[in-house]
Amino acid sequence: MVAVIKVSSSIHRILNYNENKVKQENAVCLTGENFPGDAVQLSFNAKLNYFLKRMELNTNARRNSIHISLNFDPSEKDLPVEKLTAIAAEYMEDIGFGSQPYLVYRHFDAGHPHLHLVSTNILPDGSRIDLHHLGIRKSEPARKRIEEAFGLVKAQDRNTARLHVDRPGTGPAVYGKSETRSAIQNVLEAVLDRYRYTSLHELNAVLGIYNVKAERGRESSRVEKHKGLYYRIINSYGQPVGVPIKASLFYNRPTLARLEGKFARNKIAGKVHTARIKNMIDHLAAAKVKPSLEGLESALAKEGVIMVQRRNSQGFLYGLTYVDHKTGAVFNGSALGKSYSAKEMQERFSPISSGEAKRTEERKLEHIAANIAENDPRAAGLIQEIAGLIGTLTAAGYAPDYVSKHYTRKKKRRKRGTS
């Protein structure tokens, strides 16, 4: 089990997020403790007002709300409701929130079972529960004890301090399959606190794996001038589809100002993980049979590292970003060193077969077709047909070994007659 704790100044936003999940049938409220009457049957406003009245006892507290997710291993998807509510009750008791009003929601929108707990740290006498280092001081000991008591899969046994880095539970967003805002929100939850990105480019390298992109708007636009940010779904070619949604409309408010704070913190925390990626690349570069760039991409993926390629509209590679699912580290190639940049990597791992070289050219054509498709979808199909014809015409044909003697026989030199 892994516990993720988030503190906030807006109980309204946290409650609204969970109640909307219930409305969309992606969650259910299992129980509510220390409320007047049956909290499950209370309306949204009744739940909200009860929290707000408690918070009025201490108007000086800026961070007065807490949102916790308890995440279980995918193999524990059949845990009964009674066991889940008992786990939630013991966890809240252990971290000092057992007597506080709190709600327990079970969510169904990810590949692993998980609970969301909503509460406030304001006590009945107006004092507050100290949230400083709550995770280290109380949550970690509580998690370990509960894993033992309930026979849960231990986080340490998965060789990770983060949940599902080996097989993330959130799938890519697909336009039209579900409500756009909800699809993007699920991806943001899976990515924002799990990975150590240091720039918007690095964040987009991770989001792109899930078909989502963060954008600042066009240069000199109103959004760009006011440091705005919005998110949108992209297709398999990286082209935007559907309408963009402002960062401020998502419940965890992943605005540019907040992300910049994460960028600064991650620059320090992520440096320790550069050696793992560099060692893997250097090891493959020194192999007797050196792989091509595509072979390297496949080899790294087996170790949980995704090599994201950035290409221009003509399909030429100009940048590489490495996303390590196991450690959560994200690095641009140039940040690892000159020899790991896109230009150097293409030289170190050049195509070793005509088939791989042909695939590289096909990828360039795919990018060209994708850019054309944005303005004229019919033209993209024509590009693909032309690419196929070019491949057929330029394919090497079979040349027989036998050549007729008529073409190899040496001509006899005629002797000049003597006079």
Q: What is the pLDDT of residues 136-172, one digit of tens each?
A: 899 999 999 999 999 999 876 544 333 333 334 456 7
The three-class DSSP label of residue 324 is strand
Q: In this structure, are residues 87 and 150 in contact, taking their beta carbons and an 8 Å threshold?
A: yes
**Of the listed ranges 30-39, 165-174, 264-273, 283-292, the one predicted with least confidence:** 165-174
Three-state secondary structure of 167-215: CCCCCCCCECCECHHHHHHHHHHHHCCCCECCCHHHHHHHHHHCCEEEE
Q: What is the pLDDT of residues 88-136, one digit of tens each?
A: 999 999 999 999 999 999 998 777 899 999 999 999 999 999 998 898 8
Mean pLDDT, the chain, rounded, equals 82
In the predicted structure, residue 372 carries a pLDDT above the cut 80: no
pLDDT of 393 reads 56
In the predicted structure, residue 309 carries a pLDDT above the cut 70: yes
**CA Rg, the chain, in Å?**
29
pLDDT of 418 reads 54
In the predicted structure, residue 401 carries a pLDDT above the cut 50: no
Rounded to 10°, the helix 200-209/180-191 angle is: 110
Angstrom distance (rounded) from CA 361 to CA 359:
5
pLDDT band at 369 (very low <50, low <70, confident <90, very high): low
pLDDT of 56 reads 95
Q: How many residues does the chain have?
A: 419
Q: Which amino acid is residue 65, in one-letter code?
A: S
pLDDT of 417 reads 61
> What is the Cβ-side half-sphere exposure of residue 30, based on CA atoms within 13 angstroms?
21
83 closest CA partner among 158, 169, 147: 147
Q: What is the pLDDT of residues 196-214, one digit of tens each?
A: 999 999 999 999 999 999 9
Query: pLDDT over 70 for what percent of the chain?
Result: 78
pLDDT of 235 reads 86
Average pLDDT over residues 372-388: 58
Q: What is the pLDDT of residues 224-262, one digit of tens each?
A: 778 889 999 998 778 888 888 999 888 778 999 989 988
pLDDT band at 396 (very low <50, low <70, confident <90, very high): very low
